[in-house]
Structure 1
């Protein structure tokens, strides 16, 4: 499961002249003739645009539209509406279709919510906190997010599937960190934690409650899955895209800088890079080597940051349209 930050959507007319993606199939191929096939997703009746924020194995996607939240399954759109009549954002979804997010009140996050069994439910807010937001869920159903306390402090918050109705907050050092948030929870139940003061430190929290501090040397960590940590680092007067393991050791560097990298459980990475002519491009890497360019746009807001699954799906938003790319290889 992976969430993605919202991007500004541009007009379809602008994108039509700037995107260089062939209808129905991506422009690049693997050496063994594997391809990425493009397919736009429908919108629920009455919605004029959509935006994807999360994806999971089994054909699940989640996001928002012009009048509420949307969930897609195997290409079919479902209008989930708004939780309790409030503005709602979905941040993640798992392979059972359970989606998590938050309501927005007066422009700020209010309640953490989960959508399952056909309805939204509010997750409990920890004692001593005023608001909460659910940011990531794994296939077990464990949910992680943040809870806002007095004085604009935020703690990592865990809602375990094995203990419904309960909530746990975590701060590696309350005297040192005023903002603690998950990057993501993986299928093994490990949580990559971002803890901020004047700088950002990262920790891995294991299911038994133990934590390990990582020396990643950057504030720009974006993804965590199956022990893979991906982000950006500034070194030698330039940004590079790096992958670390659970010990904080660098595993690989992408052959070109990609912003907002997302990873699957294997060796695939997706992100946005700049082409030689200055255009923005959505690229796919395997073992750090760029193998495909799925979309290019002269406008930096031509498409949103991607989301990725383990079963060969990458999704993005192009103009008002949620678009998927499915990986396939000849038999």
Structure 2
């Protein structure tokens, strides 16, 4: 899908686009007009069980007002352990962590409360997990897999992510990634995505829409897993390539919802990023003063980082509707219009606290 109580006056956009997604070529992103209504974002700190002395944070939102993330337990000798938490109706649920799994990262949750992400295992590699029956369980991997990551889940229960195989070139070693799907209709299986995607380089699935459309990053070479050059929308064995703003060398897909895609582009791998939001017709938009668009909801409301260190922001399509200053981080734009992430009510000291902001 990545903070706590400061009241901020802002604006909330209420208009949205309803065009169907289609492949289009655009040399530069177009602007979309929006209608703005006055709004004040009010924060609400969510509770964590008492033993979570290191606070917590929300990193994912489901489609009906629930959230997921991690809580931190800090011990007297300085070690911190993370555990998976889910919030429903403001109450936190803990998930048991089987022996051999540690320090989970949460990337998605669906309306049934299934949480996905990746976790350290006994082989010292990260491996994809889902929650089932109150505990974490590793997802199946293709033979020969070194590591794996789950990056999203939809309400049907389809899970996407990528697996990696350790390769060597002389004295150097590196991961080679392949986008995968763990289909809900075939429990216990994993499918490498093919059909319409490039047959060379590497791929990573970074999100899945409710209709099963998978967001896929493509890296041109087998040795570079960090600088995707293209984004694809894959579904049922076919894929279409998203058109990029002019001057793009590196593009990351951070999220997908109702046909819209959130991301960031760079003119080179070491350059600052600029946020981008693809509308449902495939048009890439440049949200105002965005350094990265991290999450988008079904109505086109997104959150991310602003340029120049101005804080985290809220956009409706390309129009900035709010900037929330202070010690906080916005990770998720939920379908009910809420924002979720972490904050530090004491003004920056202390631990992150799981926080939800609502428009009042």
User: Shorter-chain TM-score: what band?
Assistant: 0.7 to 0.9
**C-alpha spacing 1:248/1:168, structure 2 compared with 1 (3 Å):** same
Following superposition, the deviation at residue 291 of structure 1 comes to: 1.6
1:82 paired residue number: 97
Following superposition, the deviation at residue 32 of structure 1 comes to: 4.2
Work out which of the residue numbers 181, 185, 190 in structure 1 matches 2:208: 185
Work out which of the residue numbers 85, 108, 113 in structure 1 matches 2:129: 113
Q: Normalising to structure 1: TM-score of the pair?
A: 0.80
Following superposition, the deviation at residue 287 of structure 1 comes to: 3.2
Contact 2:118 2:126 in 1 (8 A): yes
1:256 paired residue number: 289
**C-alpha spacing 1:191/1:157, structure 2 compared with 1 (3 Å):** same
Contact 1:285 1:292 in 2 (8 A): yes
1:21-59 deviations in whole A, cap 9, x for unaligned?
64xx43224564443221011111200111222111222
Matched, 1:209 2:209: no
1:129-180 deviations in whole A, cap 9, x for unaligned?
2332211101110001111224121111111001111110125344x21x32
Query: Cα RMSD over matched residues?
Result: 2.6
2:33 paired residue number: none
**1:1-331 residue pairs with structure 2 within 5 A?**
2=1, 4=2, 22=6, 25-30=7-12, 32-48=37-53, 49-66=55-72, 67=81, 68-87=83-102, 88-105=104-121, 109-151=125-167, 152-170=175-193, 172-174=197-199, 176-177=200-201, 179-197=202-220, 200-206=229-235, 208-216=236-244, 217=248, 218-234=250-266, 240-245=274-279, 248-250=282-284, 252-274=285-307, 279-293=309-323, 295-297=324-326, 302-319=327-344, 320-328=352-360
**C-alpha spacing 1:108/1:89, structure 2 compared with 1 (3 Å):** farther
**C-alpha spacing 1:246/1:205, structure 2 compared with 1 (3 Å):** farther
**C-alpha spacing 1:219/1:71, structure 2 compared with 1 (3 Å):** same
Structure 2 gaps of 5+ residues are: 13-35, 73-80, 168-174, 222-227, 345-351
Cα distance in 2 between the residues matched to 1:239 and 1:263: 18
1:78-109 deviations in whole A, cap 9, x for unaligned?
22242445212222111111101222137954
**C-alpha spacing 1:203/1:54, structure 2 compared with 1 (3 Å):** same
Give the secondary structure class of the aligned counterpart of 1:153: strand
Cα distance in 2 between the residues matched to 1:143 and 1:220: 19
1:166-220 deviations in whole A, cap 9, x for unaligned?
110125344x21x3211210001000100113552221111x2111223324423
Contact 1:314 1:325 in 2 (8 A): yes
Q: Normalising to structure 2: TM-score of the pair?
A: 0.74
Contact 1:109 1:133 in 2 (8 A): no
**C-alpha spacing 1:287/1:247, structure 2 compared with 1 (3 Å):** closer
**C-alpha spacing 1:154/1:89, structure 2 compared with 1 (3 Å):** same
1:258-304 deviations in whole A, cap 9, x for unaligned?
42432111121211214xxx6532211123222222x313xxxx333
**C-alpha spacing 1:261/1:132, structure 2 compared with 1 (3 Å):** closer
Cα distance in 2 between the residues matched to 1:83 and 1:303: 31
Give the secondary structure class of the aligned counterpart of 1:154: strand
Cα distance in 1 between the residues matched to 2:283 and 2:253: 14
Give the secondary structure class of the aligned counterpart of 2:95: strand
Cα distance in 2 between the residues matched to 1:323 and 1:84: 30
